[in-house]
Amino acid sequence: MEPLGIEVDAPAGETVMDAVRAQGYFWPVGCARNGECTNCAMEVISGLGRVSAMGRFERQNLIRQRGPRAVENPRLRLACQTRAEGDIVVYKRGVEPE
Ligand code: FES
């Protein structure tokens, strides 16, 4: 993941955020990691075809918090909702060692 330049193994079914947090990193959040605040939003730099599909709740909250154009960019995803289904690279500022 960038810009930290770390590599993380994500067990199947685990969200991107949980996989990174399990390695001892802080990930910025503003809710109970339930898809409401969108503070955890990340950019999927590569592997867009290897992330879980966006659910209705994630879509609704991205629109509500960031406006309709937010969902026009498929690379913008909520880390607390998105699961990797293969190798991906994501970008998120503010992720740092705890
Ligand atoms: S942590 Fe709030 S939407 Fe992901």
Compute the distance between CA of residue 16 and CA of residue 40 in angstroms, rounded to an integer: 10
Measured from the Cα of 29, ligand 1's closest atom is 1
Task: Give the pLDDT confidence score for residue 73 in this predicted structure.
Answer: 95
Task: Give the pLDDT confidence score for residue 36 in this predicted structure.
Answer: 96
Minimal CA–CA distance to 12: which of 80, 84, 77?
84
Q: What is the DSSP string of the chain?
A: -BTTT------TT-BHHHHHHTTTEE---SSSSSSSS-TTEEEEEE-GGGBPPPPHHHHHHHHHHH-GGGGG-TTEEETTT-BBSS--EEE-TT-EE-
Distance 79 CA to ligand 1 centre (A): 7
pLDDT tens sequence across 13-71: 999 999 999 999 999 999 999 999 999 999 999 999 999 999 999 999 999 999 999 99
Distance 19 CA to ligand 1 centre (A): 15
Residue with tokens 């867009």: 48
* Protein residue with least CA distance to atom 3, ligand 1: 35
Q: Which domains does the chain have, with CATH numbers?
A: 16-92 (3.10.20.30)
Task: Give the pLDDT confidence score for residue 80 in this predicted structure.
Answer: 98
Confidence of residue 96 (pLDDT cuts 50, 70, 90): very high
| pTM for the whole structure | 0.96
Distance 30 CA to ligand 1 centre (A): 6
Question: Region 65-93: what's the mean pLDDT?
Answer: 97
